[in-house]
Structure formats: structure tokens, C-alpha cells
Amino acid sequence: MFNTSQLEDFIVPVNIFDISDDEGYLPGQLGQVLTETPLEQARIVIVGCNEYRGAGLPAPIKTADAIRKQLYQLYYWHAEISIADIGDVKTGASWSDTSAALKTVCKELMDAGKKVIVIGGSHDNTLAQYNAFADRKQIIEATVVDALIDLRQDTPVRSQNFLLEMLLGQPNFIRHYNHIAFQSYFVHPGLLETIDKLRFDCFRVGKVKEHIEEMEPVIRSSNFLSFDMNALAHAYAPAGNLSPNGLSGVEACKLMQYAGMSASLETVGVYGFDATKDKEGLTAMQIAHMLWYYFDGYQKQQHEAEIEDRNAFNEFNTVCAEVDTLFLQSKHTGRWWMQLPDKSFTACSYTDYLTASHNDLPERWLRAQERL
């Protein structure tokens, strides 16, 4: 039985009156739903984080409440799922203190079977998400959405090098790593070669924008997702403040919808938002819309059948490069899976099925087989 008192020492509750400017919320708005849902009943839990010292900024910066101001005004269309906002993780005396508290909160909630969404803070807070899995000694697949690949060795700024600890630290629990929407001119080509040698997958922003549906199986297979708002073009997220190019607001919402549709994904973090730079609350509103689409995806996922229920899937047998491969397509969501030689199934796309039907092994199949 989950005991909410376990988290009281780590959390500052939401002050609904500050966020609503003492006006309250209309029936059906998320502000009413999120603050009235008992934590024990919630299937999705929002956790705020205002830690920015890893990016060289003073802490705390009250960005989580800026996001709440926008999120709480949206309407609750997903009555089949219960959502709660637990409040903000207390900012500690040091970055390490805050990270340890966030890790504990994430782990306790995940262990209770809840999906955890972290809002606010700099991108290095991703480490707290990862360490929640490391404490379990759970081997995972991780996905990051970011214009940069934060593996710099020549800087003490943690938000620019935290992936070194996550991907190379020992003991390590990363089975596979995906990086979505990097912008080539910000990344040294030698770094991409190194990542490829590790059999990790990186997807350039141009490919993501042209074929965003190919990112769905990538996210579906992941255990956690970390989203840096720097991945969006400045016009869509002024407080991301990195590049005039990048993902659009609609594309960011689509990726978050895919995250909600993933049964294996236990926690999502949305980072890299500085409320002091936000023009007319546009970035906070963008994040609020992304969260709404996560809820939308989660509701869709609740109707997905288990792989074992073959009546819920269309089956397609193919022989490509002398390899017998079975593809399944969900009758409910239209999503695809393909069978590997060990008879397990991995997420894939319609494009992978078309490739196999033309007698070519899909690259996704080959990469998955290499990891096996």
C-alpha cells in the first residue's frame, strides 16, 4: 500500500491560490482536477523541480509554477485517467541534495506503479530520473530529445556533460540510448561516430521532422524520456533560447503523445525552461500543451491489448533475407511490432514492414538483433 507520508519530507505542496491568482478554476479545468485527486488514486503524478545550479544559474527559479499557471487552465478531456500534482521537490543546500530528493520521489512513485512527469529545472536533472532506475539495478532503454548532445568533456557545467555520467558511469544500467532531434551544426561529427560504435541511435532533427512517425517505436521501447526545450525552435519556445531552428510546437506535442502511449515508459522530464526569459508565457504554454498530449496518449494506450492477445492484432508473415519474421499490427491503435529471432517482439513502424516485404531486413531489426 502506497503511503503518501513517505514523500512529505521531500515535497513542497502546490499553492493553488498563488497559481490561480485567488480566482480558482472552472469545472472541468485541469487546475481543479489535479489538485483534488488523491495521490493514492492517481495513475499519473506531476512533480515540480526548480533546480538550475547544474546549468550555472542560481537556485531555485520558480519555473514549475509558471508551467502550472498555463496547464491548470486547460480542460480535462481524459476522464478515464486520474492525474495528481504532488508539488515541488524541495531545493537542497547543494545540487546533490536536490538530485537525491528528486531521485527518491521518482523511485517511490514509480515503485507504486505511477507514471511520473517532472517539470522544471535544468537538463542535468535527468540524472535523478536515471538514478531512480539505477537504485533498482534495472537495465533500461533511455531516450533524450535535445538539439545538443550533452557529452562535453571540456566544461564543468553539469548540464552540458551529464550524459558522460549516465552513459559511461559504472556500474551502468543503460542497455540502449536514443537521441532525438539533434542539430548537426551543434555536434562534432566525431562524437556521432563514437555514439554509433556503441550501437546507440541518434536522429537528426531534419529526419524527425520529415518522418516523425518513425520516432513512435523509438519512444515506445523506452523506459524514460528526457525532453530539453532547447530542441524546439525559438519561435515556439522563447525561453528555450538556443536556435532559430528545431522542432515545432506541434511536433513536440506529437512526441509527448507517443510518450503517453508507451506502456514501458515510467517517467518523463521536461527541462531547460527559464521562466525569467519567457515572452508572454509562450514557452510555459507550449509545455502545458505537451503535457496535455501526454495525457491524451496515455488514455489511448489504456485501450491497447497485450501482445499475447492475438485476436487484437493483424498478423503478417514475411521472409526477408531468408529470415522468417512475423509482424503484428494493433487493430486499435495501428501500431506495429516485429518478432526477433529469440521470439520476442520489438516496437517497429509500417515502414519496417514495407522494407521486410521487399526482402530487406529493416535497420531497426538489425540494430535490435545486435543488442540481443
Q: What is the pLDDT of residues 218-259, one digit of tens each?
A: 999 999 999 999 999 999 999 876 789 999 999 999 999 999
| Per-residue pLDDT at 196 | 85
In whole angstroms, what is the distance from residue 356 CA to residue 334 CA? 18
Whether the predicted pLDDT of 54 surpasses 70? yes
Between 283 and 320, the more confident residue is: 283
For 103-134, give one letter per residue: b (16+ CB within 10 A) or e.
bbbbbbbbebebbbbbbbbbbbbbbbbbbbbb
Tens-digit pLDDT profile for residues 248-266: 999 999 999 999 999 999 9
| Per-residue pLDDT at 114 | 97
Instruction: Extract the C-alpha cell encoding 287.
Output: 509545455
Instruction: Extract the C-alpha cell encoding 276.
Output: 525569467
- Neighbour count for residue 344 (Cβ, 10 Å): 11
Is there a contact between 283 and 271 (Cβ–Cβ < 8 Å)? Answer: no
Tens-digit pLDDT profile for residues 279-319: 889 999 999 999 999 999 999 998 888 999 999 999 999 88
Residues counted in the chain: 372
| Per-residue pLDDT at 132 | 97
| Per-residue pLDDT at 90 | 95
The H or E element spanning position 18 is helix 16-20
| Per-residue pLDDT at 202 | 95
Residue 78's identity, in one-letter code, is: H
Average pLDDT of the chain is 92
Q: Residue 52 — very low, low, confident or very high, per pLDDT cuts 50/70/90?
A: very high
Residue 7's identity, in one-letter code, is: L
Q: What is the mean pLDDT of residues 144-163?
A: 90
Residues 6+ apart with CB under 8 A from 344: none
Is there a contact between 36 and 139 (Cβ–Cβ < 8 Å)? Answer: no
Rounded to 5°, the CA angle 150-175-312 comes to 115
pTM score? 0.95
| Per-residue pLDDT at 279 | 81
| Per-residue pLDDT at 112 | 95
Listed range (61-65, 227-231, 256-260, 322-326) with the worst mean pLDDT: 322-326
In whole angstroms, what is the distance from residue 199 CA to residue 201 CA? 7
Q: What is the mean pLDDT of residues 44-69?
A: 91
Q: What is the mean pLDDT of residues 131-156?
A: 94
% of the chain exceeding 70 in pLDDT? 98
| Per-residue pLDDT at 2 | 57
Whether the predicted pLDDT of 129 surpasses 60? yes
E strand map for the chain: 11-12, 44-48, 83-89, 115-119, 140-145, 174-182, 201-204, 224-228, 267-271, 313-320, 323-330, 336-339, 345-348
